[in-house]
């Protein structure tokens, strides 16, 4: 089967029964590091919504994990006078159950096609797009082929499958050397296009935070993580988290084609810095003096270039008639 189908099936099995987040799980995400992350994002959304005229809006989160980011963002938004209906796009039953505990009264969706169509959308996606399936092409001795996964005895192995016409490969990459790999993520493109179209009709904004690159480019980024360490992505499918880097340049171009304005991407550390993370950390530390060391550490993990600060980037999409979002100038 194509690598993309393998990744989709493996991740569906991986997420369905479990909560993979946190120190005792497989990986830790920004909202699980500190409440400051979700609070700042909530205030960023509330500020835009305020300057756009305070119309009735909906909070949408894609792949909300434990619901931590949503709970922190909604608390901060409420203080700014924004109390939107909440809509979650989530496929995992285990994750939905955790989200229901943190954010009672949310509405769940299997995909973005059923989101409300009558009001501005305030959309957040943190480490969501990296979980969507990528397809791969590989340069073999005699041209480009689709990379597929086959089962040999009890092992899954990636091999070069059917030939593809070289015209489907970006011109700049066609002459790449043998073994080169190109990835594409059609699901991410479809979701960004659908959301951008809705933003252009309904108003609103989206914040996408993930690690990624600006394609087209060669290089395999498909990776597996188990208990905070890298694993072989083709081994024991469904047992570890499969992710791939997000092609921000492609998503930006597609968002614009579908009617949204694109801002960034900018490094996560820069955005959080401009939006006042240091002040928030200082006031939290004053309120909880016993935790000041942990708060300083969380601040560092979220913003330092050697931690999540540069690897992760934030890209915003806005409706064409909405104001400029803070932090992207």
Interaction of residue 10 with ligand SAH, rule CB under 6 A: no
Residue from 126, 198, 218, 303 that binds ligand SAH (CB under 6 A)?
126
- Helix H or strand E segment including 292: helix 292-303
Q: Determine the distance from the C-alpha atom of residue 276 to the mean position of all C-alpha atoms in its chain, rounded to a whole number.
A: 22
- What does the per-residue mask of binding to ligand SAH show for 132-151, with x meaning CB under 6 A? x-------------------
How far separated are the first and last CA of the chain, in Å rounded? 44
Q: Nearest-CB residue to ligand SAH?
A: 63
* Pair of tokens at residue 74: 């909604």
Min CB(130)–ligand SAH separation in Å: 8
Helix (H, G, I), strand (E, B) or coil at 301: helix
Q: Which residues pair with 59 in a beta bridge?
A: 86, 122
The one segment of 38-46, 126-134, 165-173, 304-312 that binds ligand SAH by CB under 6 A: 126-134
Min CB(124)–ligand SAH separation in Å: 8
**CA distances (Å), 189 to each of 24, 72, 79, 181, 185, in order?**
33, 28, 34, 19, 7
What are the φ and ψ backbone dihedral angles of 307, each rounded to 5 degrees? Answer: -105, -120
Min CB(198)–ligand SAH separation in Å: 17
Residues 56-95 within binding reach of ligand SAH (CB under 6 A): 63-65, 69, 89-92, 95
Interaction of residue 31 with ligand SAH, rule CB under 6 A: yes
The residue among 302, 312, 326 whose CA lies nearest residue 72 is 302
The one segment of 25-33, 48-56, 75-83, 275-283 that binds ligand SAH by CB under 6 A: 25-33
Rounded to whole angstroms, how far apart are CA atoms 162 and 266?
38
Residue from 3, 7, 10, 29 that binds ligand SAH (CB under 6 A)?
29
Q: Between 73 and 138, whose beta carbon lies closer to ligand SAH?
A: 73
Q: Between 91 and 223, whose beta carbon lies closer to ligand SAH?
A: 91
Q: Between 67 and 84, whose beta carbon lies closer to ligand SAH?
A: 67
Dihedral Cα 37, 291, 287, 289, nearest 10 deg: -150
Is the CB of residue 116 less than 8 Å from the CB of residue 134? no
By CB under 6 A, how many residues form the interface with ligand SAH?
Answer: 20
Interaction of residue 308 with ligand SAH, rule CB under 6 A: no
Instruction: Tell me if the bond preceding 150 is cis, omega within 30° of 0.
Output: no
Contact residues for ligand SAH, defined by CB under 6 A: 11, 15, 21, 29, 31-32, 63-65, 69, 89-92, 95, 126-128, 131-132
């Amino acid at each position: 089967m194509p690598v993309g189908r393998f990744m989709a099936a493996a991740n569906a099995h991986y997420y369905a029964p479990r909560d993979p987040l946190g120190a005792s799980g497989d990986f830790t995400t920004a909202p699980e590091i500190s409440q400051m992350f979700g609070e700042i994002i909530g205030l960023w959304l509330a500020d835009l919504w305020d300057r756009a005229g305070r119309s009735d809006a909906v909070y949408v989160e894609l792949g909300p994990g434990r619901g931590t980011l949503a709970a922190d963002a909604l608390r901060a938004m409420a203080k700014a006078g924004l109390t939107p209906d909440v809509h979650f796009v989530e496929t995992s039953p285990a994750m939905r159950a955790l989200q229901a505990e943190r954010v009672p009264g949310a509405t769940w969706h299997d995909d973005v096609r059923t989101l409300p169509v009558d009001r501005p959308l305030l959309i957040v996606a943190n480490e969501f797009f990296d979980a969507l399936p990528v397809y791969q092409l590989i340069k073999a001795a005699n041209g480009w082929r689709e990379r597929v996964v086959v089962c040999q005895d009890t092992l899954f192995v990636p091999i070069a499958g059917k030939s593809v016409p070289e015209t489907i490969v970006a011109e700049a990459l066609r002459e790449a050397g043998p073994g080169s790999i190109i990835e594409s993520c059609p699901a991410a493109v479809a979701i960004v296009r659908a959301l951008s179209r809705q933003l252009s009709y309904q108003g609103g904004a989206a914040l996408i935070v993930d690690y990624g690159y600006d394609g087209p480019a060669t290089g395999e980024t498909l990776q597996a993580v188990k208990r905070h360490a890298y694993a072989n992505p083709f081994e024991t499918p469904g047992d570890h988290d499969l992710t791939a880097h997000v092609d921000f340049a492609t998503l930006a171009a597609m968002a614009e084609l579908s009617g949204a304005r694109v801002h960034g991407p900018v490094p996560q550390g820069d955005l959080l810095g401009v939006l006042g993370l240091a002040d928030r950390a200082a006031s939290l530390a004053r309120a909880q003096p016993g935790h000041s060391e942990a708060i300083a550490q969380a601040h560092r993990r979220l913003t330092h270039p050697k931690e999540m600060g540069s690897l992760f980037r934030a890209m915003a999409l806005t409706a064409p008639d909405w104001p400029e979002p803070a932090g992207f100038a």
